[in-house]
Amino acid sequence: MKAVIYARYSSDNQREESIEGQLRENKAFAEKNGIEIIGTYIDRALSAKIDNMPEFQKMIKDSSKGLFDIVIVWKLDRFARNRYDSAFYKATMKKNNVKVMYNDYNCAE
């Protein structure tokens, strides 16, 4: 299965290392589960307002192209903080035959 990683941090108060940590942990998770990482989408110093995250929006658009089967996210709150947005975009991914996997819960939705 082919996957991409989505990583973000939400404010200038957080450090760039948080992105590197998310990437490192998600790559290890993928390797452990036999998943091939083919790319990353990274939003730096942006809030979880969906319309404010250009890489997130690009990932959603790309999910309809059949380029990947899975999106790996370090934690649920890295995907979206708002329940409505989270449910809406997970449903969009599901419609596009893409699973969202959270590394910290080791579960797929």
Helix axes 54-63, 83-95, angle to 10 degrees: 30
Q: Fill in the amino acid letter for 72.
A: I
Please write the tens of the pLDDT for every residue from 73-107. Answer: 988 777 776 788 889 999 999 999 999 998 875 44
Kindly report which listed range (45-49, 62-66, 68-72, 88-92) carries the lowest average pLDDT score: 45-49
In the chain, the number of structural domains is 1
Considering only the C-alpha atoms of the chain, give the largest distance between any 2 of them, rounded to a whole number of Å: 36
Side-chain-side CA neighbours of residue 38 (13 Å) = 12
CATH number for the domain including 16? 3.40.50.1390
- To which H or E segment does residue 20 belong? helix 17-32
Residue range of the domain that includes 96: 2-108
Higher-pLDDT residue of 20 and 10 is 20
Q: pTM for the full model?
A: 0.84
Please write the tens of the pLDDT for every residue from 30-61. Answer: 999 999 999 999 988 655 566 678 999 999 99
